[in-house]
Amino acid sequence: MKIWQRIFIVTMFIVTVFTLAMGLLLIGNQYKYQIDAEINNSKKFHENVMASVNVEVQRQMQEKTKSILSDHEFLEAYKAAYERFEDLGYGLKLSMDGENIMNNYDFSDDIVNKNMIKQERYAGYEIVHKSDYYFLIMESENSIYGRKIKCDTEYDITHIYGAYFAQRDRLKVLTIVFSLLSGIILLVTIRFLLRPVKKLQWGIHSISDGDYGRQLEVKGNNEITELTKDVNQMSEKIADDNRAKEEMIESRQVFIDNMAHEMKTPLTAILGFSDILTIKQNLTEEQIKEYSGYIYKEALRLKTMSGKLMELAQIEEKNVKGECVDIGNILDEVILSEQIVLEKSNIKINKKIVNKNVMVDKDLIKSVFYNILDNGAKATTQNGEMDVSMSVENNKVVIKIQDYGIGIPKEDVKKVMEPFYMVDKSRTRKSGGAGLGLALCKKIIELSNGEIEISSDIGKGCLVTVTLPVYDLD
């Protein structure tokens, strides 16, 4: 059962029970009020009967100038008093010293007894149900001039009970009608209030069906709004994760394709020149040296490529354990080593280095600077220059390596740190590159909690910026 159905059933139950209980309470109070009024009227009637009997006895005593009346005279006085109340709508029975003297009473004596429902002062009463009628029965006793007078009355209160039962039946009908109307109104209200939840449910279903980038409409300022915002954030996160996975799969596929292509080229050359050396018999010594040189160069490129692949695979799984080193000294060592190679092309390096401690793997960070300087040297023409500067900004060491070579097209800048990506493949192959150097650099810097960024354009050279957190010895 759905939550809204449970809410509907519980609410309808509460409304119905509450309406019926309140109605019965009101009707019961009205009924009690009417019964109490009839009881009070009966008490007054009894008082009037007793007072009338007393007055009539006194009148007879005065007329006859007697202080005590005979039984016959008492009886005459009672009859005279009785005649005054005979037509007032009450059943009346008078008895003297246990003997009935007047009676228009319909009930037998065993109905009215001493086991009354309620006893107040001299008057007791009970309500008797006989056939389809209800009667209020009351008795009272008094002593008049030595005689024990008992008065019993019965009054028809069927009209009160008839009205009570009719009102109760009407209440049942009204409760049913009210409950139905309340149910319709409640159902419409619940459906209206649950519309945002329904839309949210549809949105979640569409997201679960694969529409990960779906954003639900946000309206109002309530709990549903907050939940919708959370769902939108979840959807956006799922979409981002899905895109990242797709990019990773695509990147891996490109990596495999490029690796297969890069390995196929040198292998084809090696096999081709090997076949020539094997099949042809009349090769000159110069041709043999030439073909052997091609084989050696392509084999060397395969060795370099496999070494870089191994290094990249190891870096992917490596947990770098850094040591505190002076990054300025490391950079000086690398520049000094590269300077010997660069002198052949007459390339000058302008440096501005400061001494600052960082926490890195010494050998890995050297590999990064060797790769960057080597790439810059390959792109720089003879008699060119390169700038290496170092500064501290916001407790971070910022190292900038600038060459003024041919540069990289803007559309290729974001891809140069992907494995096997080469801007100019022919130039890269001639220089012995495999397209893995910058991918290694990026991974090493990330493992060192740093950042690497490349900015370049055709004809404007290339700027590589490496940022590493400063390590404070204190």
Angle between helices 327-342 and 362-379 (to 10 degrees): 40
Q: Is 140 strand, coil or helix?
A: strand
Taking the C-alpha atoms of residue 133 and residue 156, their distance in angstroms, rounded to an integer, is: 7
Nearest Cα to Cα of residue 145 among 78, 225, 245, 90: 78
- pLDDT category, 466, cuts 50, 70, 90? very high
With cut-offs at 50, 70 and 90, classify the pLDDT of residue 371. confident
pLDDT band at 259 (very low <50, low <70, confident <90, very high): low
Torsion, Cα 69 70 73 75, to 10 degrees, reads: 110
Query: What pTM value is reported for the model?
Result: 0.42
Kindly report, residue by residue over 96-147, the tens digit of the pLDDT.
766 676 666 655 444 433 333 333 334 467 788 777 788 888 777 777 777 7
Q: Contacts from 338-345 at CB under 8 Å and sequence distance 24+?
A: 338/370, 338/373, 338/374, 338/377, 341/377, 342/377, 342/386, 345/377, 345/380, 345/382, 345/383, 345/384
Q: Got the DSSP string for 12-65?
A: HHHHHHHHHHHHHHHHHHHHHHHHHHHHHHHHHHHHHHHHHHHHHHHHHHHHHT
Which residue's entry shows tokens 């690796």? 259
- Name the residue with higher pLDDT: 76 or 36: 36
Q: Which of 101, 105, 97, 113 is nearest to 147 (CA)?
A: 97
Domains in the chain with CATH codes: 3-179 (3.30.450.20), 320-469 (3.30.565.10)
- Check residue 407 and report its DSSP letter: -
Q: How confident is the model at residue 390 (pLDDT cuts 50, 70, 90)?
A: very high
Cα 410 versus chain centre, distance: 45
Residue of 350, 351, 347, 340 whose CA lies nearest to 384: 347
> CB count, 10 Å around CB of 239?
16
pLDDT in tens, 272-295: 888 888 887 788 888 888 888 888
Residue 105's SS3 state is coil
Asked if residue 464 has pLDDT above 50, the reply is yes
pLDDT exceeds 50 at position 426 = no
pLDDT band at 451 (very low <50, low <70, confident <90, very high): very high
Residue-wise pLDDT for 183-219, tens only, equals 888 888 877 777 777 777 777 777 777 776 667 777 7
Residue 469: band (very low, low, confident or very high) from pLDDT cuts 50, 70, 90:
very high
